[in-house]
Structure 1
Amino acid sequence: MNPPYVIGLMSGTSLDGIDAGLVEFSPARPSGQLLHTAYASYPDDLRQQLLAIHITGADELHRAAQLANRLAEAYAQTISTLLCKAKIPPQQIQAIGCHGQTVRHRPDAGYSVQLVNASLLAERSGIRVIADFRSRDIAAGGQGAPLVPAFHAAAMRHRSAHRVIVNIGGIANLTDLPPAGKISGFDCGPGNLLMDAWIQQHLGERYDRNGTWAETGQLLPSLLNTLASHDFFSMQPPKSAGREQFNMDWLKLCLSGNEAPEDVQATLLALTAGAIARAIETHCSSAEEVYVCGGGARNGALMRALKGAMPNRLVGLSDNLGVDADWLEAHAFAWLARQTLLGLPGNVIEVTGARHPCILGAIYPA
């Protein structure tokens, strides 16, 4: 019998590219062991088209369908690279857990759209695909997000230490893992999304490597207070966010126009760190340990800001718990696909607000 291998695919709100992880599941490691990874960055034109379709425009259905096809081709190529690296044939892979690319997240209107042509991906890869993870939770009255907390609980909960896992992608979210009782979690605000967009506009860089540019600026207290007054921050969980709430148009409305660009970047970093720290203090006040994953985990300035905002808590990386901070979400969607195959729920109702646990995802045979 071949080991149960599942591939997880993640392309997040930051629109930087595709993370693919090959995960092996076993009785000794039911949450899975990440064996191999592959990354492919989005070409600039694809990234711009994905950004554009976030906004209502002409011929949306055709543009969305064409983008779904293009994403499927890109995902299939990334999987081919991954399997070549692993020296494993497609026939040994149980499934691909594909998150797809979120272009509209409107649980308030009863839907969330993650673009991918899953049928085309199954055809190109020769592997069964599980996609559309969010819709079932939304149908049950949930937010459809965040979904990764269920994996956090499976992989990183401790029987005596109270932990919080913070994922900083385009949006930041947290999972509260008390040693006993119910877990909880929610999106707590912008992660890298605004910082990435701001540096792209001013320096032409996709992201602020290690927060170096932000550290050349000065915090603007008045701007920080304005940004932090967004209604989302005062909402009670369960809640989720995306570009619908936090985007460049909203940021520009908060600016006077006289700010130095590097000062705005420093303030955006402080906004992300402060929102995370306040959410933990408000909703997870007895937590002793905070572990960070996602792209923001590699931003040294942001990590220092988080540690400064939570001096009485241990703040580290999920790497310290044996889960690679860079690949956690790809690993998580492999685990969620495995849950689907086993007929087990993948949502946490205390996190999403759904009325009941649900088996997530739609299955597209190879």
Structure 2
Amino acid sequence: MDQAEYYIGVMSGTSLDGVDVALVSIDGQDIDLIETHFLSYPAHLKASVLTMCHGQETNLRTIGELDHQLGHLYAQATLQLLNKAHYSPEQITAIGNHGQTVFHQPDGASPFTIQLGDNHILAAETGIDTIGDFRRKDMALGGQGAPLVPAFHRYLYGVSTSSLVILNIGGIANVSILQPNGSVVGFDTGPGNTLMDTWCSTFLNKAFDEDAQEAKQGQVNQPWLTHLLTDEYLSRPAPKSTGREYFHQEWLDQQCARQTPLLSVHDTLRTLTEFTVQTIVDALVPYQQGAHPKLLVCGGGANNPIIIQRLNALLEGWHVAKTDSEAISGDYMESMAFAWLAHCYIHQIPSNLPSVTGASKAVPLGVLYSAN
């Protein structure tokens, strides 16, 4: 490129807390975060998404209305970002919108993935070309359609002499493993915050366990933790991906039925926190290479002190830190990634990694929704 281009990334993930929006400039191998914005989910929208994610009965009208409402919400968040940053729509090359995943089924006879949020509305209301529907091209080529962020992590960090892992702990936890030989592996390790958040919402009247204040009041129950770790998803080989349609309320209820004796609210929460940590550690140990392996953590789970403390304790020999320590916002890493994916589509740069998703080849991902 002759000069920097400006892109906006829109991300609403499995945590369902709201919409993260990032404005970036991209000039070759340089990406700079200019401004960010967060817009909370209205309660009724969050409830509708949760109902759909958990596989409860729905209908076409409900799906269509939710798609429409999310499109307006994404447009609102984007326009608020532009106003905050003092940029005009004419300055922006494109928006990259992930959309809200409501069901992800990458395996079986009929693999599919559904992200809602009408990109036509987003393009029309902002006046900016929008790139969306990033996952289905990869799935059409035999891939999982996820995770897609490892390609962005390779762009950011390149190659090091020891294993470099970027861990995103949202509702689901996923890793990008950059190896010294240049190879990249990435997959969803299992639940991130979703089970803890579900427990807090159900029994503590809180959306999440801020600063692990509630989990600190409990003890890990080792027998129940051992049982949780037998879940068959955890032993599947990569490539693999998952979501709320697997690790949901019913899954948690079934596991709680195996508690003997019945645990307290706080002991259950502390054990679920340890479950997230242990699944991450178990997933990473086989990939340790080099003298100085490093783990960089982003996403909402990076703000949980128990998770960070336990990762440090269990990953001996690893340097564990937040991505913020290397000047990359942990809260807006994924929205930056989808801004970059939009850039890749505009310039027809392959943006999936077959080594991560299992697709048959690397291709530019996304579909253009023109503002004109």
The TM-score range, normalised by the shorter chain, is: over 0.9
- The answer for the alignment partner of 2:39 in structure 1 is 40
Report the 3-state secondary structure (helix = DSSP H, G, I; strand = E; otherwise coil) of the residue aligned with 2:22. strand
Residue 358 (structure 2) aligns with: 353
How far is 1:202 from its partner?
1.0
Where does residue 295 of structure 1 map in the other structure? Answer: 300
Shift, 1:85, TM fit: 1.0
Contact 1:186-1:351 at 8 Å conserved across structures: yes
Cα distance in 2 for partners of 1:71, 1:167 equals: 24
SS of the counterpart of 2:142? Answer: coil
**Per-residue deviation, 1:127:** 0.6
TM-score (structure 1 length as normaliser)? 0.96
Answer whether contact 1:17 1:40 (CA < 8 A) is retained: yes
* Identity, % of aligned positions: 39
For the pair 1:162 / 2:163, whether they are aligned, the reply is yes
- Whole-angstrom distance in 1 between the partners of 2:213 and 2:355: 37
Question: Which sections of structure 2, spanning at least 5 residues, go unmatched?
Answer: none
Residues 141-195 of structure 1, C-alpha deviations (whole Å, 9 max, x = no match): 0000000000011102343342111111111111111232311111111000100
Q: Shift of the alpha carbon at 1:59?
A: 4.8
Alignment of 1:258-269 (within 5 A): 258-269=262-273
Deviations 1:25-46 (A, max 9, x none): 113xx25111100001101111
Which residue number corresponds to residue 124 of structure 2?
Answer: 123
- Return the match for 1:337 from 333, 337, 342: 342
Task: Give 3-state SS (helix, strand or coil) of 1:25's partner.
Answer: strand
Shift of 1:57: 4.8
Moved over 6 A (4+): none
Residue 278 of structure 1 aligns to which amino acid in structure 2?
D
**Is the partner of 1:316 in helix, strand or coil?**
strand
C-alpha offsets along residues 87-142 of structure 1, whole Å, 9 cap, x if unaligned? 11011111110000000001113210010111111111111110010000000000
State the match for 1:323 in structure 2. 328
Cα distance in 2 for partners of 1:310, 1:85 equals 40
Specify the SS of the correspondent of 2:363: coil
Q: Residues 216 and 282 from structure 1, CA distance in 2 versus in 1: closer, same or farther, beyond 3 angstroms? A: same
Task: Provide the C-alpha distance between the structure 2 equivalents of 1:78 and 1:3, rounded to a whole number of angstroms.
Answer: 23
Tell me the residue number matched to 2:225.
Answer: 224
State the 1:284 CA deviation: 3.6
How do 1:11-90 and structure 2 match up within 5 A?
Answer: 11-27=12-28, 30-90=29-89
Letter of the 1:305 counterpart? R
Q: Please state if 1:271 is matched with 2:275.
A: yes
Q: Structure 1 residues 364, 211: closer, same or farther in 2, change over 3 A?
A: same
Q: CA deviation at 1:283?
A: 3.3
Bigger CA drift: 250-259 or 220-229? Answer: 250-259
Q: What's the counterpart of residue 95 of structure 2? A: 96
Q: Could you say what secondary structure the match of 1:53 adopts?
A: helix
State the distance in 2 between where 1:99 and 1:187 align.
Answer: 17
How large is the RMSD of aligned CA atoms in angstroms? 1.5
What secondary structure does 2:113 align onto? strand
Instruction: Give 1:234's aligned amino acid.
Output: S
1:254 aligns to what SS in structure 2?
helix
Cα pair 1:176 1:284 within 8 Å, conserved: no
Q: 1:136 to 1:85 in 2, by over 3 A?
A: same
Q: Which residue of 2 aligns with 1:364?
A: 369
